[in-house]
Structures are given as C-alpha cells and as structure tokens.
C-alpha cells in the first residue's frame, strides 16, 4: 500500500480530552475518530488492526470447537423479562421504541438471545456439547464514557456460549475456553493474568477475568510473574482431567484483584522477585453459570434417562475493540505505538527519502513486491513531506520494521532498517534486510 | 466439517409466515432465525454464506481503489439536521434517546457521517480522489417487514462514498463503481440489470439500480437479454474515456423500470428473442449527487487555484444480507437451494450411508482431506439418520456436489456423485470424482 492511496490522517497534537496513551495515540495516528460520546468510527488503519485481532480470536475459538454465527444488535425486551434481568440491568441498557411502540434494546450481551436460539432447536443431550459464538457490536450506555475505545459505549465483543448436559461437562467446556483464551492472548503478545472473579450481572459460580497490567488500568491486581513463562502444549485437550491439569498450571500461581487480595498469603506463596502488582485492564471474562438462564427460560433437554432437565451454560467474552487500546497501553513509547507482528496494520514501513526520485521508487516497488510475496504487508510513505515528518509518523503508527531508502542507498544496494521493538538501527544489504525481517515477522506471528 | 459437530437445524415444515421461496428455504435449511419483526439471527450456515458474499464485495471494492473503514451503527442526530434530511426521512429512521436525554439514530445510511469524517481531515484537492467504504449493520424501521432478510429491518449493507474535485472526476469514480458492481455480480453468478434510477432519499442527478429478475420481485423491469452476455476485460480502467466506453457497453442496451418503460422503444430497439421482462429485486444502487451534502455540511477543499469549493460526492450501496436471499430466489428448485460455487457454505457434501461403518468413515475422512487440500470445503453428514433424510437435507441446503458412500462403493473404489446445478448423477471412481469436482469448483469460483 502507498500512503497517498490510503487514508491515514495523522496529527501531531495531543487531543485535550484524551487522558491515556492509547486514546491519544489512536487519535493521533488516525486510527479512530469520535462520532458521539463513547461512539467511534474506525478509520482504515484502526480497522485493519481490529480485523486482525478479530481473526485471531475467531481462529482460536474455532480450534476449540466453537461455531460462529451472528445474532442481531437489537433484541426483544421480552427475553430479558423472562430471564429476570430486565429490571436489574439499569440505565446501561439502551432501550428503544420502534414505530409500532414496541420495545427493543441494543444488546449489551447475549445470554438471553442465545438461550432462545438453543431452546428453539435443541431438544436432546445427543446434540451436546454445543458452543456458539459471535463477534458483534454491543452497546452499554456508560454514564461517563472515557479513555477512547477502552470504555466506549458502542463496542465490539466476541461472546461464546456453551451448552452442556451437566455440571461436569459444563466444566470441561469452561476449561476449554480458559485454555483458548490463554492461546489468544499469547498470539496477541500480551501477558494476561487470569484472576478468579465475581460474576456480577452475568451470574454464576465459576468465573475468571483475564487482565493485563498497565499504568492506566482501573483496579489493582496482584500476581506471580511466573504465570507468564508457562508454555502451553498445542495439543487439543479433550478430557476433563487433562483440561484440569492444563488450567491448574495457571491457577496454581497467586493472582487476585484488590478486593480479594491477601497480602500475607501473597508474600508466603510468591518469592519477592516474582511479585507483581499494578493497575489492571480487563480484556476477557468467562463465566460458568449452570441453569441460571436455562431454568427460567425453560431451555430443557432430555437426558439419557429421557427426563427433561435444564441445560448447563457458560458464557465467554473478549473485548475485541478494547483489545486494540489495551495492546497499545501495553506496547508503546514516547514516539508512538509499537505493534506486535501478529496484529500490526502493516509489517514493514518504507520511507522514500526523495519522493520524486524515480529510481528510488522503482527499487522500493521491487522491495515491496518481495515482502508481499512473503505474505508481509508493506506501507510505502510516498508523500511529498519532509523526511522528519515521515520518520515521526512511522514511529507514531508503530510498524515493527522501518526501511529508509535514498539515492545513495540504491547505489550501494544497502538500506537503513529500524527495528521498532528494540529501538535499534542497522545498515544492511537490501537482500539481507528482506530475509532478516521476513524471518523475524514470521517467527513472531506464529501461533 | 462433520454435521454432528456443526449446527444446522433443518426443518421439513414450511413456516406459515414465509411467503417467498428464499424466506422458506432459509428458515428450513437452518440459515436464519427470526428474533423480532424484521430482525434475524444468522445461524452458522447462513453466516458462512453472508461472509462469503461480504468477502467478494470487499475484494472487488478494494480492487477498484476503495478503502475499507467502519463507521458505528449509532449516529448523532445533529448531522442529519445539518444535511437537512432529519425531517424528511420519516418513520423509517429509528430514533433513540440515551440516558442523558441525547438523541441518537440507528444509521439507515451514512452520507452525513462520512461527510463529517471527510471534512474533519481532508482540506486539499491533493488528497483526492478518495473512496471510503464500510460493511456495517443498518436499520430501517419498515412499516411491514416481510420476505425474511429480503426486506428486514436490521440489514447488512456495503456502502462506499467517493470524494472528488469536480464533476468530471466524480463521474470517473461513479463509473469505476459501476464496473466494480458488474464484477461483483458476475462472481455471485447472478444476471444483474443496471437500470437508470430515481435517486429518492439519497438525492442527485446520476443514479443506477442493479436488479435481478425473479418470480418474487417487487416491481416490473424490462431489458435486453444481451446485457448478460457482455464480457468485461479485467484490466483496471483509469481514464474517463475508457471507463465511459466500458459503462457504455452496458447502458447501450435497453433497460427500464415500469415507470420509465416505453413499450414502443423497447420493441424498436430489442429484437423479440432478446426481450426480457419480469419482477425485479434491487441488489445494488449507486448515486452521484455532487454537492448535495458537502455544500450544506461545509465539506470544502481548496482547488488548484487555492479557492475553497464543495467536494463532489457519490454513494454506492450493496445489500449484502439481502443478496443471500436474492441469490436463493435466483437459484433454487422444489427440493431446495442451489448455491453458486463462489458463495456456497460448503462445496462438497458427503453422505455416509451407514453412519456406524468404520471403514466407510475412514475412506470419507481421506476424501474429505483431499478436497480440503484443494481448498474446497466439505460437509460430511455423519448423523444417525435415514439415508432418505440425509438426501433431502443435502438437497435442501444446496451444496453443489453431493457424494454418497456406502460399503459397496468402498470395495469398488467408486462413488455416486450428484451434480446439484444440473440435477444429474454419475458413478465415478473416487479419484475421478475428486479431480472432476475440484476442477469444476475452481473454474466456477474464479473471479
């Protein structure tokens, strides 16, 4: 892609209402634009990152056996009355009246709707287990939307819903999702802490939040850093004891939110060098809630004995749009964003020092093609701007590898490469640079 | 994919409220489920088709130089007051009041919002031409939603918006989109008729509808069949005269909606054997409307002379969710849907005659892998159901190639193949069937 054929409206100014780095950087790099309070447009650069995160989430959920579908954004109010959540949800629920004076809501979550789908079609234990997920826009009418897409009102969420015959089977589904979440966050290159959680408005007995620590999180979290060094074998785990063991590898380490934190146990269990505390951003939340919805909503199945029983359910959310901001909070410096290879909008940026030099343009085009043949995406800054402005913008938008090419470089078949992750520069042969970057980018995007 | 690991709730019964074949077949094949009046969930099979259509639309729009982004579903009312459309749009516009008593609307289209984005960032003719598109859920509060997703309330639309310096440049953008639409519909295997159209609520002077003729359309359309035999060269056209010539190839043939139809001219211009008339379903609509929005909304750019002028705009819509139904209206028989290869949820269906025969299962698994290595998607009906039920369901869900495998076939290394497009059957060697189907499926999915 050439910069002049794309649409990246970068900005030097820090917007006055943006209080945290991710919000500032997403505005400054032309990734998003606010349309109303807590409601954003995703400009092309931001949209690319959003889609890459979505793709990783989708792939890992499918590998774990979940099936994708799509529920609508607007829901019938009646379902929420059946489940008993209509009155409890409060003002965050956006209520809508249509032209026939019927009430709808903009879905903040989909437990009721998916239970309705389940009960319409599934009648027997023989069709279980079942896990349905969708990636759809949701709305929560936050009283004070802030921090950009971190706490917006219209947001993109992946939510999966498991249906099982009984508690044991339901636990298996829960653990599968736990492991799938670990895999997703590993591919996104963020160190995520699973913490036992309150189940809040969703309800249920078993629940974990997945959080990352950054300077701008909203609640304190405490954990044992050794969590981050755990390796997952990539085999698909299918029986309960294997799954329990895999999950146990994570839950054996101390982790707690502020309200559940016990300083004495923390110090006993965690050697000093591994103690970590900081402010947390929640990026995922999983719940096992048994019959909480299926019982009032009469989502019954026949069990092996031919008896009607309520199906056991769980729900599993990931804030896809929030993750864009969370990754930036996690990975940036004073100059701008530093994207992990797995979600970067482009892998390679190329700065043309002399925008009107045709020989340079030709060599750049060849380099671009070679990267693209290796499945790396390239952004060429071909604008008629100063080199300083081009450097600053490349740093701002956060591409991992930045090549600078001028007339002298071409003669020597050399190129300056900046490695954004390590903030280092090297002068390499053109071929050497292509090979090195291709192998680095591939290694780091591997799932 | 194995049927028992997927979620396809098929149904023999024709739903009472479904009046047209596509609505009946989408419900019966488990593609969609109605959630409220005119609001549907897309179950996994329907979702797969929706995504495949979306992908074709995206690829062709990008090839034509349009840049993808994503605007939110909810919009600020103020923009619609600026453009002057707030009062005119009527009851189809879904108005929403949030917790702070601010008005929002669920976007029925995005001319205002995209104009706001443009004027925030683009100030000079040097940044033109620009074409931004998104694929997002929209809402129109139809007084009588009907025909399933054909005339639903919450619907998925691709809408692109072009920005140009002047009328001539704007025409170029319009023609580019015209040609891109022809390419999209060719890949979707529907014969689409471009008809000069009224510009209605969008406004403007130049407008075409793209319609297909089916038994269940809503307005009469007349055309010259020779339209459908035109070949597009795949070169990217970039100058106005080439584009005019390419578009002129299509517009030289007679086509008209009922209100503009002139029977005398129709008979003069179109030899009898090429005359076609029938009921039309609109699947795309393009508009060139100059300064209609940019002028009241003050979307100004500086031209070459340094003068501030209103930017010239156009908008280009395709009903992505409606296309799923439109393709079915276009391509089905009494037994069910007949998917074109380009959007079929799976290319190949395999019926295991004896669900518990392990030898059969093993051979089927091998055949499935071989198809998948050739990038074809396979659905194996491994349910414990009668062969009759499996046949009926395969016909219903409309996969192009259906293999039936039983113990006798395995011994003879043969397989029964049903070609759904021609409703013919052949007994082929297993290898022969794989090669034949792979080459047929690839030929027909080629863009």
Q: Which of A279, A307, A335 is the last residue of a domain?
A: A335
Tell me, yes or no, whether B354 lies in a domain: yes
Within 10 Å of residue B13's Cβ, how many Cβ atoms? 8
Give yes or no: residues B119 and B178 share one domain: yes
| Tokens, residue B371 | 């198809």
Name the maximum alpha-carbon separation found in chain B: 81
Tell me, yes or no, whether A341 lies in a domain: no
Cα A6 → chain centroid? 24
Strand-pair category, A275-290 with A193-196: unpaired
Contact B292/B229 with Cβ under 8 angstroms? no
DSSP structure class, residue A126: G
CA distance A317 to chain B (A): 19
Which chain A residue has the Cα nearest residue B153?
A74
pLDDT in tens, chain B (447 residues): 999 999 999 999 999 899 999 999 999 999 999 999 999 999 999 999 999 999 999 999 999 999 999 999 999 999 999 999 998 889 999 999 999 999 999 999 999 999 999 999 999 999 999 999 999 999 999 999 999 999 999 999 999 999 999 999 999 999 999 999 999 999 999 999 999 987 676 666 789 999 999 988 888 999 999 999 998 876 678 889 999 999 999 999 999 999 899 999 999 999 999 999 999 999 999 999 999 999 999 999 999 999 999 999 999 999 999 999 999 999 999 999 999 999 999 999 999 988 888 889 999 999 999 999 999 999 999 999 999 999 999 999 999 999 999 888 888 899 999 999 999 999 999 999 999 999 999 865 544
Supply the range of the domain harboring residue A376.
Answer: 348-445
Give the span between the Cα atoms of B347 and B353, in whole angstroms: 19
| Tokens, residue A334 | 């004073």
What three-state secondary structure class fits A330?
helix
Whether the CB of B36 is below 8 Å from some CB of chain A: the reply is yes
Q: Is A249 exposed, middle or buried (0-12, 13-18, 19+ CB in 10 A)?
A: middle
- Three-point CA angle A257, A261, A267, nearest 5°: 125
Q: Which of A309, A335, A361 is the last residue of a domain?
A: A335
- For residue B435, the domain's CATH number is 3.40.50.800
Give yes or no: residues A81 and A175 share one domain: yes
Give the span between the Cα atoms of A229 and B319, in whole angstroms: 48
Which chain B residue has the Cα nearest residue A31?
B69
Q: Is B55 exposed, middle or buried (0-12, 13-18, 19+ CB in 10 A)?
A: middle
Tell me, yes or no, whether A378 lies in a domain: yes
Give yes or no: residues A293 and A400 share one domain: no
Give yes or no: residues B245 and B368 share one domain: no
What three-state secondary structure class fits B63?
helix
Secondary structure tally for chain A: helices H, strands E: 12, 23
- Closest of B423, B428, B421 to residue B405, by C-alpha: B428
Residue B443, pLDDT score? 66
Q: For residue B35, list chain A residues with Cβ-Cβ distance below 8 A.
A: 71-72, 75-76, 113, 116
Give yes or no: residues B307 and B441 share one domain: no
Alpha helices (H) in B106-190, listed in sequence order: 111-121, 167-187
Tell me, yes or no, whether A213 lies in a domain: yes
Tell me, yes or no, whether B191 lies in a domain: yes
Q: For residue A71, list chain B residues with Cβ-Cβ distance below 8 A.
A: 35, 41-42
Whether the CB of B7 is below 8 Å from some CB of chain A: the reply is yes
Give the list of residues 6+ apart from residue A302 with CB closer than 8 angstroms, or none: A123, A124, A125, A308, A309
Q: For residue A50, list chain B residues with Cβ-Cβ distance below 8 A.
A: 70
Helix axes A44-63, A167-187, angle to 10 degrees: 140
Which chain B residue has the Cα nearest residue A6?
B67
Among B41, B74, B100, the residue with its CB nearest the CB of A117 is B41
Which chain B residue has the Cα nearest residue A42?
B70
Q: For residue B113, list chain A residues with Cβ-Cβ distance below 8 A.
A: 35, 41
- For residue B29, the domain's CATH number is 3.30.930.10
Residue A357, pLDDT score? 87
Give yes or no: residues B55 and B177 share one domain: yes
Contact B358/B410 with Cβ under 8 angstroms? no
Give yes or no: residues A383 and A286 share one domain: no
Residue A202, pLDDT score? 66
Number of domains in chain B: 2
pLDDT in tens, chain A (447 residues): 999 999 999 999 999 899 999 999 999 999 999 999 999 999 999 999 999 999 999 999 999 999 999 999 999 999 999 999 998 889 999 999 999 999 999 999 999 999 999 999 999 999 999 999 999 999 999 999 999 999 999 999 999 999 999 999 999 999 999 999 999 999 999 999 999 987 676 666 789 999 999 988 888 999 999 999 998 876 678 889 999 999 999 999 999 999 899 999 999 999 999 999 999 999 999 999 999 999 999 999 999 999 999 999 999 999 999 999 999 999 999 999 999 999 999 999 999 988 888 889 999 999 999 999 999 999 999 999 999 999 999 999 999 999 999 888 888 899 999 999 999 999 999 999 999 999 999 865 544
Give yes or no: residues B174 and B292 share one domain: yes
Q: Indicate the pTM of the whole model.
A: 0.97
Give yes or no: residues B217 and B297 share one domain: yes
Cα B164 → chain centroid? 27
What three-state secondary structure class fits B322?
helix
Residues in chain B, overall count: 447
- In Å, what is the CA distance from A99 to each residue of A96, B61, B95, B142? 10, 35, 9, 9
Tell me, yes or no, whether A394 lies in a domain: yes
* DSSP structure string for A135-169: EEEEE---SS-BTGGGB-SEEEEEEEEEEESSHHH
Give yes or no: residues A416 and A370 share one domain: yes
What three-state secondary structure class fits B285?
strand
Taking a contact as any Cβ pair under 8 Å apart, which residues of chain B between 43 and 62 contact chain A?
A: 43-44, 47, 50
Give yes or no: residues A358 and A329 share one domain: no
Tell me, yes or no, whether B343 lies in a domain: no
Whether the CB of B94 is below 8 Å from some CB of chain A: the reply is yes
Residue with tokens 């774990």: A64
Q: For residue B68, list chain A residues with Cβ-Cβ distance below 8 A.
A: 44, 47
Secondary structure tally for chain B: helices H, strands E: 12, 23
Q: Which helix (H) or strand (E) holds A438?
A: helix A430-445
B141/A75 Cβ within 8 A: no
Whether the CB of B9 is below 8 Å from some CB of chain A: the reply is yes
Q: Which helix (H) or strand (E) holds A368?
A: helix A358-373
- Three-point CA angle B165, B169, B170, nearest 5°: 85
Give yes or no: residues A194 and A138 share one domain: yes
CA distance A285 to chain B (A): 24
Q: Which of B268, B301, B336 is the last residue of a domain?
A: B336
Q: For residue A33, list chain B residues with Cβ-Cβ distance below 8 A.
A: 117, 120
Tell me, yes or no, whether B355 lies in a domain: yes
Whether the CB of B116 is below 8 Å from some CB of chain A: the reply is yes
Alpha helices (H) in A252-310, listed in sequence order: 263-269
Residue B447, pLDDT score? 40
């Amino acid at each position: 892609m050439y910069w002049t054929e794309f649409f990246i409206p970068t900005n030097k100014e820090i917007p006055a209402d943006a209080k945290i780095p991710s919000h500032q950087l997403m505005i400054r790099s032309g990734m998003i634009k606010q349309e109303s309070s807590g409601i954003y447009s995703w400009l092309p650069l931001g949209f690319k990152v959003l889609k890459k995160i979505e793709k990783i989430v989708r792939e890992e959920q499918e590998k774990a056996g979940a099936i994708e579908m799509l529920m609508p954004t607007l829901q019938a109010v009646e379902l929420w009355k059946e489940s008993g959540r209509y009155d409890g949800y409060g003002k965050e629920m956006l209520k809508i009246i249509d032209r026939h004076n019927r009430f709808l809501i903009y879905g903040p979550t989909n437990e009721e709707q998916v239970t309705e789908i389940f009960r319409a079609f599934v009648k027997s234990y023989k069709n279980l287990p079942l896990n349905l997920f969708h990636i759809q826009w949701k709305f929560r009418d936050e009283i004070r939307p802030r921090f950009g897409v971190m706490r917006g009102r219209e947001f993109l969420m992946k939510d999966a819903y498991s249906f099982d015959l009984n508690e044991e089977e339901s636990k298996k589904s829960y653990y599968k999702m736990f492991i799938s979440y670990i895999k997703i966050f590993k591919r996104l290159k963020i160190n995520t802490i699973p913490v036992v959680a309150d189940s809040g408005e969703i309800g249920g007995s078993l629940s974990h939040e997945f959080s990352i620590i950054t300077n701008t999180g909203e609640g304190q979290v405490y954990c044992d850093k050794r969590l981050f060094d755990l390796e997952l074998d990539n085999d698909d785990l299918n029986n309960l004891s294997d799954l329990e063991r895999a999950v146990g590898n994570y839950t054996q380490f101390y982790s707690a939110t502020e309200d559940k934190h016990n300083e004495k146990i923390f110090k006993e269990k965690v050697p000093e060098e591994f103690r970590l505390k900081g402010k947390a951003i929640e990026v995922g939340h999983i719940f096992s809630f048994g019959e909480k919805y299926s019982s009032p909503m009469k989502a019954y199945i026949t069990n092996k004995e031919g008896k009607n029983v309520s199906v056991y359910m769980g729900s599993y959310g990931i804030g896809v749009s929030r993750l864009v901001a969370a990754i930036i909070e996690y990975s940036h410096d004073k100059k701008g964003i530093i994207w992990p290879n797995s979600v970067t909008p482009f892998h390679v940026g190329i700065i043309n020092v002399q925008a009107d030099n045709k020989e340079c343009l030709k060599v750049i085009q060849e380099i671009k093609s070679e990267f693209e043949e290796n499945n790396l995406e390239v952004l060429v800054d071909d604008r008629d701007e100063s080199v300083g402005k081009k450097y600053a913008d490349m740093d701002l938008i956060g591409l991992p590898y930045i090549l600078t090419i001028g007339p002298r470089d071409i003669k020597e078949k050399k190129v300056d490469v900046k490695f954004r992750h390590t903030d280092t520069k090297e002068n390499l042969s053109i071929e050497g640079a292509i090979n090195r970057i291709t192998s680095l980018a591939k290694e780091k995007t591997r799932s």
